[in-house]
Each structure stands twice: as C-alpha cells, then as structure tokens.
Amino acid sequence: MGNGEQRGKVALVTGASRGIGRAVAIQLARDGAKVICVSRSEASATPTAEAIRADGGESDPFAVDVSRAEAVQAACRDILEKHGRVDILVNCAGINRDNMCLLMTDDEWNAVLATDLSSCFHWTKHLCRSMVRNRWGRVINISSVIGLVGNGGQANYAAAKAGVIAFTKSIARELASRNITANAIAPGFIDTDMTAPLPEAIREKVLEQIPLRKFGRPEDVASAVSFLASDRSSYITGHVLNVDGGMVMA
C-alpha cells in the first residue's frame, strides 16, 4: 500500500500497459500521484488507468510509440498542456530483439536502441523543463543487469541498457542544481511477458545464479521506483539500484 506522500504530484510511466510498468503505475498512484499511463495504443494503456481509478487513484491513459522522436515531442506538449506539469518520469517501455551480433539485422539493432535508449532522451528533454520550473523532479530509468554485465545474443539490448545508465548519470549531474534527481534501476530476471518465453532449461540455469533463488515480481521493481520517486531518497542521485535477488553484486 502507498502512503499518499506523492499527493499533488503528476507522474508519467511509459510501458504502463503490463509487467513492470503497470506495477509501477499502480504503486505511484497508491502513493498519491496522478499517473499518466503511456503505452503504444489507447487500448493497451486504458486497462491500467482503469485499474488505478478502480483502486481510488487518479490516472489518464496516453497512446504514443516511444520509439518515434516527433511523436514523443508532440505527446509531451499535449500532456503539459492538459496536466500543467510532470514531476516524476519513469522510462520503463522496452523491447528485446535477440540475435547473435554477427547475424543481427540493422532493424533489430535500431528498434531496440530507439525504444530502450533514445526514448529516455526524448521524454527527459521535453518533460524536464516543467521539473526545472518547479525546482523538484524525479527521473527514474529502467535499465537492466544486462546493461552492467552484457549477454551473448543481446548486444543491442545490453548496449541500450548500458547507455541508459550513462545517460542517467549525465543528466543527474546536469539537473542536480534544480533539485531534480535521476536514478536508474537494474532489474535482474523479473516474471513478466518479456521473460515468459525463456525455455525451462534456461530458467533453471538463471535461477542457479540468483542467490535469493527466485525470479523477481514486477512489484519488487515498483517498490524501488516508489522509494526513488519520493522525498525519502532526496540525497540519492546518479545511482544504479539493482533489483535482482543478488544476481549481480558490484
């Protein structure tokens, strides 16, 4: 349950239709924020917004393809016009298009970089002005442990997620003087539609590498986002928080 500490704040969560993004949107609404649920289509964004409203929270769905720069820019204009501000930005939308590097197509590379990395740049660029004006803001970018250690078959995804971390640290430095923090979360293996196709043998192998011996739940990531979005984390910026059952220890 949330504690209402984000009352009066507006949060925007990308990839909010399912998995980690949906859990994050629901948690931030329980914390008291009005949550704009961004997904590729109105039909996919609406169920999360409806679940939040049914739970007593405030939420609006918004459809935009985050991999398209002009579409994100236009979305930011519309959202700021309608809501006046965005205080908390959570970049969670992501895809993978796995292939060995020597076989990887340009489309597989470009799609993952545009969706998982460039989208963070475009949302930040167009929404942070509102945070700067209000002298308060939180940017939370969902990276991955793969961005820390790499993975065979995921050169595109690993490069994008490592880029998310470097991007986050850079904007943390740029925005700190305006009382805006920027942090990344590096989830390990979380049970969602993204990891569902993994064959059982691979799941067993992965489990052996996780000291807590279980996959994470979307809610495990959501509670980390809730903390980083709150005033309880006001002295933390440029940090990468692993939510991975101990899989990767620095």
Question: Interface residues with ligand NAD (CB under 6 A)?
Answer: 14-15, 17-21, 39-40, 44, 65-67, 92-95, 115-116, 142, 144, 187, 189-190, 192-195
Q: Considering the complex, what minimum distance in angstroms separates the CB of residue 135 from ligand NAD?
A: 29
The catalytically annotated residue of 62, 109, 123, 157 is 157
Q: Are strands 34-39 and 58-63 parallel, antiparallel or unpaired?
A: parallel
Query: Starting at the edge strand that comes first in sequence, how are the strands of the sheet with 34-39 ordered?
Result: 58-63, 34-39, 10-14, 88-91, 137-142, 180-187, 240-243
Cβ nearer to ligand NAD, comparing 73 with 195: 195
Q: Considering the complex, what minimum distance in angstroms separates the CB of residue 3 from ligand NAD?
A: 24
CA distance 115 to 128: 19
Q: Considering the complex, what minimum distance in angstroms separates the CB of residue 114 from ligand NAD?
A: 8
CA distance 20 to 41: 17
Cβ nearer to ligand NAD, comparing 33 with 221: 221
Residue 235 a catalytic site member: no
Tally of CB atoms within 10 A around 186: 25
Residues 6+ apart with CB under 8 A from 204: none
Backbone angles phi, psi at 249, to 5 degrees: -115, 125
Cβ nearer to ligand NAD, comparing 178 with 217: 217
Cβ nearer to ligand NAD, comparing 57 with 61: 61
Q: Considering the complex, what minimum distance in angstroms separates the CB of residue 58 from ligand NAD?
A: 20
Mutual orientation of helices 42-54 and 19-30 as an angle, nearest 10°?
Answer: 30
Q: What positions carry a catalytic annotation? A: 157
